[in-house]
Chains A and B, each alone.
Chain A
Amino acid sequence: MITPTAPDTLAPAAARPAAAGPAALELTNISAGYSRGAAVLQGVSLTVRPGERVAIVGPNGAGKSTLFKVIVGLMPHRSGDVLVHGHSHHAGDCPSIGYVPQREAVDWRFPLTVLDVVLMGTIREVGWLRWPGRKQRTEAETALEQVGLAGLAGRPIADLSGGQQQRVFIARALAQRADVLLLDEPFSGVDAEAFESIFEILDQLRARGVTVLLSTHDLETATTRFDRLILLHQRVVADGPAGEVLTPERLAAAYGGRLIVWKDGQPMSVSADDCCP
């Protein structure tokens, strides 16, 4: 399990105390992701302070994955700016952004071990034309300890359980010394124990000043575990505490005609009927 006294040797490179200095992540008027003429993201602006933990909610096709791909620079954006700790995300000195992919998006049969994946976080540190050395190995093993996967370095990723799969990628982001961590649907298909351990890790990351953005379909989790939600549907429909963001009107605007289940005045889940947009 997670050791609370794990050595803090993998502090993110540019961690700052919360609410001081430039924003950890700042998007200004981002439009991107064109498919058949319509932009998936239209004029998206948001500011995240260092150490904040934000949940991004919205239906399929709302642009959550596109948003992450634009932030990391994989997808071009037609307008607007992305700044990470004040640096443009294309600049060479931009602080590291970690990305934890959706479990469904990973090719688990790729012949890699847990250590191979975590070492991928150290590629920039190693540089061109060199191979990861003992220093990187130690960093990778420390990262694995911090997510509770110590001793699994040699295991093929095909042999990991659902809960372990997420954590390998979080360990990779730790080895990368990411200042900002993006998690794409980290709660889909994980059991209760894995779910809790993800939050333990997120708490540790917050204590270190790592900024976390994650996307989720799970409105109940978003409401109960996050101080700040962003409701996305091509644009930022709402941004703030759950009570403000998940109002019936706003949910209707974002989720359209889908069925929303409520309990005690709080939205619990949205039906996954995505057949006909």
Chain B
Amino acid sequence: MLAFLFQPLQYAFMWRSLAAATVVGVVCAVVGTFVVLRGMAFFGDALSHAILPGVAVTYIFAGTNGPLFWGALVAAVLTALGIGRVSQDQKLREDTAIGVVFAGALALGVALMSTVHSYTVDLSHILFGNILAITNNDLLLIGGFGLAVLLIVTALYKEFVVVAFDPVHAATLRLPIEGLRYLLLVLVAVTVVVALQTVGAGLMTAMLITPAATGYLLARKLTHMMAIAVLIGVLSGVVGLYLSYYVAIASGAAIVLVATACFVLVWSATRLGQREA
């Protein structure tokens, strides 16, 4: 049994992957809690696809060794602010605004990537993750930005909660509601980029939503919801990596599958519990 656990750990890449998956699990769960409570799942999905142009441009000019992280970060933050601005107008419903922006951005990104000959493999890495190829440098960026996101959420926790729960009350407290709204969008954008290499743009929404959704089913207090989300996020990362090691399936997908399985388990248990009650 112990051999089973320790065998993959003889490889350095496995340690780096586990570290990345842990960071991603924690950060996505914390930010994902607010995404779920504010009904921003579609936005999170859109953002993860909309970063493609930024990544593509960086890729074209610098190849796969280029600073994809930074290119993605710039694209993500700009997209987040753009969606924030468009949805402020209220002429379009928020989901329409998001749909327009993200579909266009995704198309632009794929078009740009296709100008490079060998693009298909790299595109699949961007969309579905390439956690096993994470370098120490990547880990530094992921860890650094992940920590920054966590610090900001901790510092502004009570403000984020009140804006999510009761914006009118937030107004009576004279909190900068629009500023906080934009800040949360930017935090989601940074989280998406942090998780990009682990699960990819295509699967990223799951890491934001699924652990937090599972927490929502179980918890009666926000702190508990977030704690459960973090636990499941990290667990999914670790179990998913082991699964992909032993069963030889894509790691990003494996992580998401484990998270989803947790959700299904909890959801079934709560349904059964209700039926018996």
Contact = CB atoms under 8 A, between A and B. Distances in A.
Contacts of B37: 110
Interface in B128-180: 155-159, 161-162, 164-169, 171-175, 177
Given A72-B168, A129-B155, A172-B169, A92 B222 contact: no
A106 B222 CA distance: 16
Nearest to B33: A111
Contacts of A96: 172
Nearest to A75: B171
Given A111-B216, A111-B222, A158-B220, A123 B173 contact: yes
Give the interface centre of B172, B219, B220 by most chain A CB atoms within 10 Å: B172
Interface in A198-219: none
B221 A116 contact: yes
Contact of B224 (A111, A123, A126): A111
A31 interface: no
A22 interface: no
B165 A112 contact: yes
Interface stretch (A1-9, A54-62, A97-105, A251-259): A97-105
B51 interface: no
Contacts of A112: 161, 165, 221-222
Contacts of B173: 120, 123-124, 176
B171 A123 contact: no
B175 A113 contact: no
A111 B219 contact: yes
B259 to A, nearest CB: 19
A107 B165 contact: yes
Size range of the chain B interface in the assembly: 20 to 34
Contact of B172 (A98, A107, A132): A98
Nearest to A73: B171
A117 B164 CA distance: 12
A74 B171 contact: yes
Contacts of A132: 158
A137 interface: no
Contacts of A117: 165
A74 B167 contact: yes
Contacts of A148: none
B174 A73 contact: yes
Nearest to B225: A111
A97 to B, nearest CB: 5
Contacts of B219: 111
Interface in A75-123: 90, 92, 94, 96-99, 101, 106-107, 110-113, 116-117, 119-120, 123
Contact of A110 (B159, B165, B175, B177): B165
A158 B37 CA distance: 15
Given A101-B166, A106-B166, A123-B159, A72 B171 contact: yes
Interface in A136-189: 156, 158, 172, 176, 178
Nearest to A184: B168
A117 B216 CA distance: 18
A129 B158 CA distance: 9
A117 B37 CA distance: 15
Nearest to A92: B174
Contacts of B166: 101, 106, 120
A32 B173 CA distance: 21
Contact of B158 (A90, A110, A123, A172): A123
Contacts of B168: 68-69, 72, 74, 99, 101
Contacts of B221: 111-113, 116, 156
A237 B167 CA distance: 29
23 contacts: A68-B168, A69-B171, A99-B168, A99-B172, A110-B164, A110-B165, A110-B222, A111-B219, A113-B220, A113-B221, A116-B222, A117-B165, A119-B158, A120-B158, A120-B161, A120-B165, A123-B158, A126-B158, A132-B158, A156-B221, A172-B169, A176-B172, A176-B173
Interface of B: 37, 155-159, 161-162, 164-169, 171-175, 177, 216, 219-222, 224-225
Given A99-B168, A120-B158, A128-B156, 11 more contacts: A72-B168, A73-B171, A74-B167, A99-B172, A110-B37, A111-B222, A111-B224, A112-B161, A120-B169, A123-B175, A132-B158
